[in-house]
Amino acid sequence: MTDAGTPSSARHWVRPSVQALNAYHVPDAGGFIKLDAMENPYAWPDELIDEWLRVLRSVQMNRYPDPAPGALQGLLRERLGVPPDMDLLLGNGSDELIQLVALGVGGAQRTVMAPEPGFVMYRHCAVAAGANYVAVPLEGESYGLPRERMLDALREHRPAVVFLAFPNNPTGNLFDRAVVDAVIEASPALVVIDEAYAPFAGVTYLDRLHECPNLLVMRTLSKMGLAGLRLGCLCGSRAWLAQIGKLRLPYNINVLTQASVAFALRHWDVFEGQAAWIVRDRERMLRSLRALKGIVAYPSAANFILFRVPAGRAGGIFEGLRSEGILVKKLDPEAPLLADCLRVTVGTPRENRCFLGALARLL
């Protein structure tokens, strides 16, 4: 009798660093007003759905997808504003691209660095790749990128890759560009600027790719309204992307995603219109949150707002909102800088009113 397959042998053979990871938890959201995951709350107009379904009729499900979809890449370049002489690498969501960078540039004996609080996938993918992960704490209260602390950490750890989310998740702020520039300049290796929230921030590093040969810019269509399709995009020089691209599994972007994203990009004005509503409603939500006694709401350039509730009440308020059918993200007690913090995604005006009403009652 062998013990292969028993729980004790999984504990023996699964790498300790993987055993120490927490699985990425996605709560059951059935029936909730879902303000926890930075999704676009707007459905497609009916005419658009009819036209899209006509496009899908011609998709050949029995064939492998095009591994290098030229027309789709052309549309992406145009809509995102990718400089013509820069390359693109497409991922099954930008999460997959983070994983490819961590595998190809990180890995054993190497360090991956990111400021924290930050996007959890940087740590997750670094650990999965067997790299050493170094978190640099943001400034208390302002969540700014700390210049000296970053430069010291670069000198001390010499990371193979630094991830910077611009705007940052879960804090929502844009880091000071002068500090980001100093990090790019001082970095001995690769810097990836993750612009998942660019549609709501209106600023980008895409136009800096020429000057910064150690820079890659990452985008996703998820927050713009296509989270279900899973398409992310890494932009930069061929020197980096041709190497990292070798790790991509050949057919990572399926035929339905390719056809549907190309269709959506041809109707990009619809999504840009929705993003403009979200930005408008973000400012309203920020004012309303700040008008609530006991709430500190942080400025945001993204489609969500980080806010702090009175000490010790994050759990109770989170549960209270949930019992009223509203799902937000509880960040307390993830990190000391996030004590008493919750994060809310900007929804439709009606969803935002429900959330604000429930929060006011709970306070």
List residues near ligand PLP by CB under 6 A: 38, 93-95, 119, 165, 169, 194, 196, 220, 222, 227, 232
Residue nearest to ligand PLP (CB): 93
Q: How far is the CB of 306 from ligand PLP (least distance, A)?
A: 12
Closest distance of CB 119 from ligand PLP, Å: 4
Closest contact distance (angstroms) between CB of 121 and ligand PLP is 6
**Is the Cβ of residue 95 or residue 351 nearer to ligand PLP in the bound state?**
95
Closest CB to ligand PLP among 166 and 358? 166
CB of 320 to ligand PLP, least distance (A): 26
Helices (H), the chain: 7-13, 16-19, 46-57, 70-80, 94-104, 120-128, 147-157, 177-186, 198-201, 238-244, 255-266, 268-290, 314-323, 349-362
Nearer to ligand PLP, 122 or 355 (CB): 122
Angle between helices 255-266 and 70-80 (to 10 degrees): 40
* Residue 132 vs 169, nearer CB to ligand PLP: 169
Q: Is 238 exposed, middle or buried (0-12, 13-18, 19+ CB in 10 A)?
A: exposed
Q: For residue 39, which of 53, 52, 24, 26 has the smallest C-alpha distance?
A: 26
The bridge status of strand 341-345 relative to strand 329-330 is antiparallel
Q: Which amino acid, 124?
A: H
Question: Which pair of structure tokens corresponds to residue 210?
Answer: 């020429």
Q: How far is the CB of 293 from ligand PLP (least distance, A)?
A: 30
Closer of 110 and 219 to ligand PLP (Cβ): 219
